[in-house]
């Protein structure tokens, strides 16, 4: 595996594949790999393409007062793990390299970005869409892989790709979970042992929501059932619990039909998200 830090070196590294028409698979990440990232890399490997993993903690998707400065980083360990998965190129640029002229041009997907996480994190999805657009232009992949844990992100990226005609297939890979069902996240490491125990109520709450929905509960009753489980711990504070259409992300008003249960919950100061497609 080669680690490449500049756009010009990336261009040199990828030119032979572009010239030969060899497909490239991109796994965009912010590093500090866990099993969820490794699963994305494995899926990318299965596509038999040249696999590029980007490792870039993107400052434009963090709001003021968020965890940009303390976001966990360990590039040496990440490089070892990526090499172990057979990744071909690790693209690990610095902020000046990615935003050499500052972030002045933005990519925005307004309708889908203002709801759910976008309410609490204004500007977050503009930063995500902008950096993903840049990565797609730099790598020119045939296929790009994203984790389903960030479901809203995947919906926004799919819309951006369709609206701007990026010649790439966006694939969503199922969430990898801890033994108690908590979705894997680089931010889980922020949790104290007590908060971590409290966080195990999140998958339990999702399961209760799933069962309520399957038994015919309305979106309102489903949200209430989820909220009741989360309320069992004083360490958890709900940001939102929502039942939305999985493509438009609009609030569902009635039961039945396609739906996504999505939530964001603070465990102490750490904001955790999760989601589940309802049957």
Give the nearest distance from C-beta 25 to ligand PAF in angstroms.
Answer: 14
Residue 24: strand pairing partners: 50
Q: Is 124 a catalytic residue?
A: no
Is residue 131 a contact residue for ligand PAF (CB under 6 A)? yes
Give the nearest distance from C-beta 135 to ligand PAF in angstroms.
Answer: 8
Distance (Å, rounded) from C-alpha 53 to C-alpha 143? 12
Is residue 154 a contact residue for ligand PAF (CB under 6 A)? no
Is residue 30 a contact residue for ligand PAF (CB under 6 A)? yes
Q: Return the H-helix or E-strand segment holding 161.
A: helix 151-163
Is residue 36 a contact residue for ligand PAF (CB under 6 A)? no
DSSP track, 166-199 = -S-EEEEEPPPB-TTSPBP-GGGGG--HHHHHHH
Measured from the CB atom, is 128 or 262 closer to ligand PAF? Answer: 128
Residue 157 near residue 29 (C-beta atoms within 8 A): no
Is residue 60 a contact residue for ligand PAF (CB under 6 A)? no
Is residue 233 a contact residue for ligand PAF (CB under 6 A)? no
Residue ranges in 164-254 assigned as alpha helix (H): 193-199, 201-214, 219-230
How many CB atoms neighbour CB 25 within 10 A? 28
Is residue 58 a contact residue for ligand PAF (CB under 6 A)? yes
Is residue 87 a contact residue for ligand PAF (CB under 6 A)? no
Is residue 28 a contact residue for ligand PAF (CB under 6 A)? yes
**What is residue 11's three-state secondary structure?**
helix
Distance (Å, rounded) from C-alpha 33 to C-alpha 245? 30
The count of chain residues that interact with ligand PAF, using the rule CB under 6 A, is 10
Distance (Å, rounded) from C-alpha 129 to C-alpha 161? 10
**Region near ligand PAF per CB under 6 A, out of 2-10, 107-115, 125-133, 158-166:** 125-133
Q: Could you give the residue numbers annotated as active site?
A: 37
User: Which spans of this chain sit near ligand PAF (rule: CB under 6 A)?
Assistant: 28-30, 58, 61, 128, 131-132, 150, 153
């Amino acid at each position: 595996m080669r680690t490449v830090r500049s756009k010009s070196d990336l261009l040199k590294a990828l030119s032979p594949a572009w010239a030969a028409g060899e497909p490239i698979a991109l796994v965009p990440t912010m590093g500090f790999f866990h099993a969820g990232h490794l699963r994305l890399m494995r899926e990318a490997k299965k596509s038999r393409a040249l696999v590029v993993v980007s490792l870039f903690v993107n400052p434009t998707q963090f709001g003021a007062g968020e965890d940009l400065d303390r976001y966990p980083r360990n590039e040496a360990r990440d490089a070892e793990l990526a090499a172990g998965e057979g990744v071909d190129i690790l693209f690990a640029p610095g902020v000046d390299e990615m935003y050499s002229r500052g972030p002045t041009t933005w990519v925005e997907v307004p309708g889908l970005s203002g709801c759910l996480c976008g309410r609490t994190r204004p500007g977050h999805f503009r930063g995500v869409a902008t950096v993903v657009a840049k990565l797609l232009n730099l790598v020119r992949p045939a296929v790009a892989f994203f984790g389903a844990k960030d479901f809203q992100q995947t919906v926004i990226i799919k819309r951006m790709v369709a609206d701007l005609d990026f010649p790439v297939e966006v694939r969503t890979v199922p969430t990898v979970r801890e033994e108690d069902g908590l979705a894997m996240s680089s931010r889980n490491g922020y949790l104290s042992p007590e908060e971590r125990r409290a966080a195990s109520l999140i998958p339990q709450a999702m399961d209760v929501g799933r069962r309520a929905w399957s038994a015919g509960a309305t979106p309102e009753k489903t949200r209430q059932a989820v909220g009741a489980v989360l309320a069992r711990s004083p360490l958890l504070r709900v940001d939102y619990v929502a039942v939305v259409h999985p493509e438009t992300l609009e609030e569902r008003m009635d039961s039945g039909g396609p739906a996504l249960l999505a939530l964001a919950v603070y465990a102490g100061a750490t904001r955790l998200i999760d989601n589940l497609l309802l049957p």
